[in-house]
């Protein structure tokens, strides 16, 4: 008889656990409503990016590389004189040129890029025009939102999004005849900050003087930035 008591106790505890499990699993939260609010703002693109390149071909790969390096170093030297511009060297690639039968290498072609970035559009536009007057060619131009401008607009929109969410939550509460609401969870998501990408420039080239280098006329435009507030509230209904 004594040997049976521990077993009976274990069965009793197991039955109690099984009886309480469905109650916890089937717990229901009443009067919970999903609420969504979105705010938008047009933000000025304040960062200009220009990609220039030099490209050439030669039967001698060593002479080709030396010529590309000389052209690139000259452009780098001119760009370093403009303190408002940030310089980044882009890709540099060379590849063989084959004859009509595609069997024998007849020469080599090489291309090297130089990327320039600045918040001073006038300084970068003038530098671009000067470099285009030499041996560099235009690869692309784009405008984006700088990190400081992005953070400033995001901080403002986050506050506006929370305010819009609270107003909509109160509207839902009133529509349901509730006496108030409790915030269950809230998610904030930001969108509309495109990464810079290079595209064919849309510009007019004109010279102030006959001996002046042509300077691109540029228009940065704006990007629409959005912050969305998604959450769940629990309405207190008397």
Q: Does 6 reside within a domain?
A: no
Q: What 3-state class would DSSP assign to 110?
A: strand
Q: What 3-state class would DSSP assign to 4?
A: helix
212 and 233 belong to one structural domain: yes
pLDDT digits (tens, 9 = 90+) for 90-110: 899 999 999 888 889 999 999
pLDDT digits (tens, 9 = 90+) for 139-157: 999 898 888 988 899 899 9
Nearest CA to 60 out of 36, 96, 86 is that of 96
Last residue of a domain, one of 144, 169, 193: 144
Q: Does 118 reside within a domain?
A: yes
Q: Does 230 reside within a domain?
A: yes
pLDDT digits (tens, 9 = 90+) for 164-177: 999 999 999 999 99
- Domain interval for residue 53: 48-144
75 and 101 belong to one structural domain: yes
181 and 151 belong to one structural domain: yes
Q: Does 1 reside within a domain?
A: no
CA-CA distance, 94 to 117, in Å (whole number)? 25
Confidence of residue 3 (pLDDT cuts 50, 70, 90): very low
90 and 127 belong to one structural domain: yes
H/E/C letters for each residue in 126-180? HHHHHHHCCCCEEEEEEEECCHHHHHHHHHHHHHHHHHHHHHHHHHHHHHCCCCE
Q: Does 197 reside within a domain?
A: yes
Look at the chain and report how many structural domains it folds into.
2
Number of helical H runs and strand E runs in the chain:
4, 9
pLDDT digits (tens, 9 = 90+) for 185-221: 999 998 866 544 444 444 434 333 344 445 555 667 7
**DSSP category for residue 209:** S
Question: What's residue 18's pLDDT?
Answer: 44
Q: Does 85 reside within a domain?
A: yes
CA-CA distance, 188 to 159, in Å (whole number)? 10
């Amino acid at each position: 008889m004594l040997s049976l008591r521990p077993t009976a106790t274990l069965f009793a505890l197991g039955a109690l656990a099984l009886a309480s499990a469905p109650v916890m699993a089937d717990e229901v939260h009443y009067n919970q409503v999903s609420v969504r609010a979105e705010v938008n703002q047009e933000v000025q693109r304040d960062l200009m990016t220009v990609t220039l390149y030099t490209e050439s071909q030669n039967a001698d790969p060593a002479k080709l590389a030396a010529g590309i390096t000389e052209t690139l170093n000259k452009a780098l030297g001119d760009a370093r004189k403009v303190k408002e511009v940030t310089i980044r060297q882009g890709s540099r690639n060379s590849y063989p040129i084959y004859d009509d039968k595609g069997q024998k290498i007849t020469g080599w072609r090489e291309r090297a890029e130089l990327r320039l970035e600045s918040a001073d559009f006038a300084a970068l536009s003038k530098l671009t025009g000067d470099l285009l007057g030499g041996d560099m060619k235009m690869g692309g131009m784009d405008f984006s939102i700088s990190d400081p401008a992005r953070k400033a607009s995001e901080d403002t929109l986050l506050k506006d999004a929370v305010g819009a969410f609270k107003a909509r939550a109160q509207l839902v509460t009133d529509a349901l005849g509730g006496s108030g609401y409790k915030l269950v969870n809230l998610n904030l998501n930001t969108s509309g900050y495109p990464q810079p990408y290079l595209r064919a420039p849309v510009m007019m080239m004109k010279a102030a003087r006959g001996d002046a280098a042509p300077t691109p006329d540029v228009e940065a435009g704006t990007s629409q930035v959005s912050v969305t507030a998604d959450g769940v509230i629990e309405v207190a209904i008397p």
